[in-house]
Structure 1
Amino acid sequence: MKLSILGATGQTGLYLVSQALEQGHEVTAIVRNVRKITIQHPLLKVVEANVFSSESLVEHFKGQDAVMSCLGFPYKLFSSISGYTASMTAIVTAMRQSGVNRIVTMTSWYTGPGSGNNSSFFVRNLLIPLIRSVLTNMYEMEQYLEKECSDLNWTVVRPPGLQNNPATDNEVMTSEGFYVPGENGFPMTNTVARGDVARFMLSVLCNESWTRKIVAMCCKL
């Protein structure tokens, strides 16, 4: 497939680019600074673009089979953020203009209000309040895709806390919820390897069962 990957210089994005190339996909890595990506491969093209501008993105989407996004935006303690919704609005506009129909993007567990009530004390009382501005904007982006993008084949992947580790062979567990519950109903884990997130994102590209759905994932230990 021909893939345009956004957030390609981020930690998860680098795993996604590498795995996509290993699988034989043609990758256009869309970045803010081409010097920040050091991967070299005959199937890789690196371009600069503004993720908040549909005009900047549309030329890099033309002729592609799918768009994949690992974009991330830093949290703010005392103010809201809008990077997820602002970038997705531009991405969707550019997709429609260029005729690309498929997108796989990444958010997080616990985006919905109150969805972390069953998480651990640390996650519930320290981590979630710290990154609440990020989770809120991720949730707004998810709502935008659900309510305004029925013409696109989108999938949102929700992972738990990200560890900068390569992919494993562990079984991927999924749930159409804000986290993956174990047998006791509580979250199965707090973390997942970034390489496994990339592995799962690539696996859903041609999996129609996750079309227009939001899926929480983790790996079975």
Structure 2
Amino acid sequence: MELTVLGATGGTGRQVVQQALEAGHSVTAVVRDPSRLPVTGAGLTVVTADVTDPESLLPALEGRDAAISALGPRGRKQARIAAAGTRAILSALDTCGVRRFAAVSAAPVGPLPEGEGVVARTVLIPLLWAVFRDVYTDLAAMEGEIRRSSADWTIVWPPRLTDKPVTGTYRRVGGGNVPHGRSISRADLAHALLAVLDEPTAGNRAWGLRTSRVGGRYATPAGRHRSVRDPGRPSVSCFRPVTGQLPRGRLSGGRVGVRGSRRP
């Protein structure tokens, strides 16, 4: 696959680039400062561009099969970058005829999951919105731009991000957040972003994610893929790496933080 990764120097973006290269994809990493991208390897092209300028993005998107955006502010002062950058990305995608697009949002921007605990509903989520309102408002605006576009899009709603290694085992809910979703590693988030690109049923839909207990109820045997449906709830899927098809390996990078801080 010819893949473009935007926001490639962030914690999640670096994971996407690394795992995509390991899976054999040709990757174009769009960055503002090439010195901040520690990933190297055959098949990697680094392009310096302004993500808010569609014309600047055209060389990085022309002839590509898909694009992944891990754009996000490094603090509340940069809270408008997600919507502005995504608007430019979508314009450039349309110009270049690239339809497949996946983007990272945040769990608090999505719907409150059925069965969520009282503390999360009444304390944690309202507190996150109070602290990171500008960031979440920006992400909500970004989602609006994506949903109104002509792209074949997928939005991912991760909870708090960690720097744990990739497992390929996580819960995924289509059209909603995962109940009791407290965290997921940036490596598994990157794994999920790459996985949805080849899934026909993942398009034009948002997906909630969270870490799954290894060896627990939702774990699957290594090298297998299984979907799980909970009665009365949105579709739930669980994944583990498949040799030669999905990325695998132990990766690290980025900073630990609440997804609301948008340090992807």
Gaps of 5+ in 1: 182-187
Q: Could you report, residue by residue, the CA deviation over 1:3-32 in whole angstroms, capped at 9, with x for unpaired residues? A: 010111101111111100010000000000
2:189 is the counterpart of 1:190: no
**1:10-29 superposed matches below 5 A:** 10-29=10-29
Matches of residues 14-93 of structure 1 in structure 2 within 5 Å?
A: 14-76=14-76, 81-93=79-91
TM-score (norm 2): 0.74
* Structure 2: unaligned runs, 5 residues or longer: 214-264
Report the Cα distance in structure 2 between the residues aligned to 1:101 and 1:189, rounded to whole angstroms: 30
| Counterpart amino acid of residue 48 in structure 1 | T
1:46-76, Cα deviation, whole Å (9 max, x unpaired): 1100000001001110010001011111443
Aligned pair count?
210
Instruction: Give the share of equivalent positions with the same residue, in percent.
Output: 32
User: What corresponds to 2:135 in structure 1?
Assistant: 134
Letter in 1 for 2:72: G
What's the TM-score once normalised by structure 1's chain length?
A: 0.87
Q: Which amino acid aligns with 1:170?
A: T
Residue 95 of structure 1 corresponds to which residue in structure 2?
A: 93
Q: Are residues 1:107 and 2:105 paired? A: yes
1:200 is aligned to 2:221:
no
Aligned equivalent of 2:209, options 197, 217, 220: 217
CA distance in structure 2 between the partners assigned to 1:113 and 1:205 by the alignment = 23
SS in structure 2 at match of 1:173: strand
Q: Contact 1:112/1:136 (CA < 8 Å) preserved in 2?
A: no
The one-character-per-residue Cα deviations of 1:59-108 (angstroms, maximum 9, x if unpaired) are 1100100010111114438xx93211111110011011111111011001
Cα distance in 2, alignment partners of residues 113 and 74 from structure 1 = 24
CA distance in 1, matches of 2:192, 2:168: 11
Does the aligned pair in 2 maintain the 1:9–1:36 contact within 8 Å? yes
